[in-house]
Amino acid sequence: MFIGNGNVFRESVSVHRGTVTGIGETRIGDNNLIMGFVHVAHDCVLGSNNILANYVGLSGHVTIDDNVTLGGQTGVVQFLRIGSYAYVGGASVIDKNIPPYSSGYGNRIEIKSVNIVGLKRSGFSREAIAAISDAHKLYFRSELSETEALRRIGAELGDFPEVQLFTSFLQSVGGKVH
């Protein structure tokens, strides 16, 4: 097990070790706030600067990138990934991968929009937020196929590193976000 620096673990948090059949360890980065009664199962990987509110439950083999906020009483199904700067409202069930910068909620999560408030608080430029929003619309709200949406995003918005993070995430999970 690896636990970085500056983490806050509140009361009754459980963190399980990795397994021989998994990646072999559970990893928690730096400066995470893990509130009361959170469960981090085996072989999870948490980045840094995340907030897991009360009663969040991570099943095994979940990966959470950096600067993610999960609302209270949220459960995450095993083998999923949540991208950087994502925000998930409370009492949600996350049963699919959540791309970076996304915001959503629900019993069977529905990605609603871009986490604009979180991006502004984190100092993203207006131009970067607009590019992320445009990429999000092309991928989630257009009638384009996944392949065509990714091609257009790359051609039209690919100069933004933030958009590159979005598209590389989608490619790494094989588009399994719907």
Catalytic annotation on 61?
A: no
Q: Give start and end residues of each alpha helix (H) in the chain.
A: 116-121, 126-136, 146-157, 161-172
* CB of 131 closer than 8 Å to CB of 114: no
Instruction: Name the CA radius of gyration of the chain, rounded.
Output: 16
Both tokens assigned to 107: 């019993």
DSSP 3-state of 165: helix
Q: Give start and end residues of each alpha helix (H) in 32-92.
A: none
Q: Which residue in the list 42, 61, 136, 178 is annotated as catalytic?
A: 42
Q: Annotated catalytic sites, by residue?
A: 42
